Amino acid sequence: MSTETKNGNGGAPQRAGGAETLTKGDFQSDQETRWCPGCGDYAVLSAVQQFMPELGIPPHKIVFMTGIGCAGRFAYYMDTYGMHGIHGRAPALATGLASTREDLSIWVVTGDGDALSIGGNHLIHALRRNVPIKILLFNNQIYGLTKGQASPTSELGKITKSTPFGVSDHPFNPVALALGAEATFVARTIDRDRRHLSDVLRAAAQHEGAALVEIYQNCPVFNDGAFAALTEKEVKDANQIRLEAGQPIRFGVEGERGVVRASDGSLKLIDAAEVGEEALVAHDPTTADGSLAYSLARLADDPTGPTPIGIFRDVRRPVYGRGAGSEEDTSSESELDELLHAGDTWTIA
């Protein structure tokens, strides 16, 4: 079919005919957005629509697949192809599409309940298979659409409608989980930092294979301020540990703090002046051994203090479905005839 031209990397930036002239407007559907006023989803949607033209992929080559939850509505607002699926199953739906249509750029939008609770199995398997899909995990640490129950990322002790005496289930750390699932690209960013968000999305799009991007997303109705430590002007510089490839990991208002490896092998936060620049751990997301990425993920279990953001891991591994058949490969009538007659046959006149 003429609409399918293989480029070998559905997710990577391309220059298609006329695509240079794409604008944010080309990615905005005619549907009215219906998230609550002040929802972090608006910021992410706007950033995605703004950044999409940069990829140079025309909207008809892009597919957004979503699960259930507030984030699930995302598909309706992009003027691309879209499928609003069922709770937790978007990675499975996307795997079926990605493994047979390598000409498409496929994005999955999901939430913490969708991806980590009901859809946990699909998420980890899409990551370990390295399916060429970009998964944007909107983490607001709460169930929003069902009006305020604890999610698998809700912090211990949190009072919610379903946990009047406080959350007692230990939360997931999505970045650590994705690393444990052998994801080849894992990043974390924040809804309110458009530049950082766009940079991370760009890197995810460049990545061949599965990318998981955790986006801290504020729910102003049921969990307002969950990420204040990383978003509020007065405190954010002290708490954002920005990971930059090849750079020593420093943070703080003046860059006065840093990350070092302690004698027991774990990572520790320290005053940089105490140990000197050379002692600080340098970030390298491309090492095959994911232990640094994992240790960084474990630096903060919930984002109430210093928390790493950026790209934790970006490595190459064979991409799922590459080289699989396409419709051009469906056999001819004569080959079918041969298959039907395979083995011992006999003829009755």
Partner 1 sequence: MTKAVEERERVVVRFAGDSGDGMQLAGTRFTDATAVLGNDLATLPNFPAEIRAPAGTLAGVSAFQIHFASRDILTPGDTPNVLVAMNPAALKANMPELEGGATIIANEDSFSKRNLEKAGYESNPLEDGSLTAFRVHRIPMTTLTTRAVEAIDGASTRDAGRAKNLFALGVLSWMYGRPTDVTERWIERKFASKPAVAQANLAAFKAGWSFGETTELLDVQYRVPRATDVPPGTYRNVNGTQALSLGLIAASVRSRLQLLLASYPITPASELLHELSRQERFGVATIQAEDEIAAAGMALGASFGGRIGVTATSGPGMDLKAETIGLAVALELPMVVVDVQRAGPSTGMPTKTEQADLLMAIYGRHGESPLPVIAPSTPGGCFDAAFEAVRIAIRYRTPVILLSDTFLASSSEPWRIPAVEDLPDIDPAFARARAGETFQPYVRDERLARPWALPGTEGLQHRIGGLEKADITGNISYEASNHARMTALREAKVAGIADEVPPLEVDADPDASLLVIGWGSSEGTIRAGARRARLEGHKVALAHVHNLNPLPPNTGDVLRAFDRVLVPEMNSGQLAMLLRSRFLVDVESFCKVEGQPIFASEIEREIIARTAARNGGSK
Q: At which residue do the structure tokens 């046959």 appear?
A: 345
Q: What is the distance between the alpha carbons of residues 248 and 119, in angstroms, rounded to a whole number? A: 36
From the list 15, 60, 170, 316, which residue makes contact with partner 1 (rule: CB under 8 A)? 60
Of 285, 246, 253, nearest to 271 by C-alpha is 253
Nearer to partner 1, 73 or 313 (CB): 73
Q: Sign of the C-alpha dihedral, residues 13, 18, 23, 25?
A: negative
Q: Is 345 in the site for partner 1 (CB under 8 A)?
A: yes
From the list 125, 194, 242, 298, which residue makes contact with partner 1 (rule: CB under 8 A)? 125
Q: Is 341 in the site for partner 1 (CB under 8 A)?
A: yes
Q: Is 331 in the site for partner 1 (CB under 8 A)?
A: yes
Beta 257-261 vs 267-271: how paired, if at all?
antiparallel
Structure tokens at 272: 């940089």
Written as one letter, the residue type at 237 is D
From the list 99, 146, 206, 304, which residue makes contact with partner 1 (rule: CB under 8 A)? 99
Written as one letter, the residue type at 145 is L
Residue 128 phi/psi, 5-degree rounding, is -70, -30
Q: At which residue do the structure tokens 């199953």 appear?
A: 89
Q: Is 23 in the site for partner 1 (CB under 8 A)?
A: no
From the list 49, 95, 141, 218, which residue makes contact with partner 1 (rule: CB under 8 A)? 95
From the list 69, 85, 111, 171, which residue makes contact with partner 1 (rule: CB under 8 A)? 85
Size of the site for partner 1 (CB under 8 A): 67
Q: At which residue do the structure tokens 């939430």 appear?
A: 111
SS3 (DSSP) at 337 = helix
Give the shortest CB-152-to-partner 1 separation in angstroms: 18
* One character per residue 167-206, x = contact with partner 1 (rule: CB under 8 A): ----------------------------------------
CB 192 within 8 A of CB 218: yes
CB 145 within 8 A of CB 69: yes
* One character per residue 297-326, x = contact with partner 1 (rule: CB under 8 A): ------------------------x--xxx
Nearer to partner 1, 178 or 243 (CB): 178
Q: What is the distance between the alpha carbons of residues 249 and 266, in angstroms, rounded to a whole number? A: 15
Q: Is 22 in the site for partner 1 (CB under 8 A)?
A: no
**Options 72-80, 190-198, 225-233, 309-317: segment touching partner 1 (CB under 8 A):** 72-80
Nearer to partner 1, 104 or 259 (CB): 104
Distances in Å between the Cα of 73 and the Cα atoms of 54, 112, 119, 126, 211 are 23, 15, 17, 21, 21
Nearer to partner 1, 21 or 332 (CB): 332
Burial class (CB in 10 A: 0-12, 13-18, 19+), 74: buried
Nearer to partner 1, 263 or 334 (CB): 334
Q: Is 337 in the site for partner 1 (CB under 8 A)?
A: yes
Give the shortest CB-135-to-partner 1 separation in angstroms: 14
Chain contacts with partner 1 (rule: CB under 8 A):
1, 3-4, 29, 31, 58-61, 63, 65-66, 68, 72, 75-76, 78-86, 89, 92-101, 103-104, 121-122, 125, 321, 324-337, 339-349
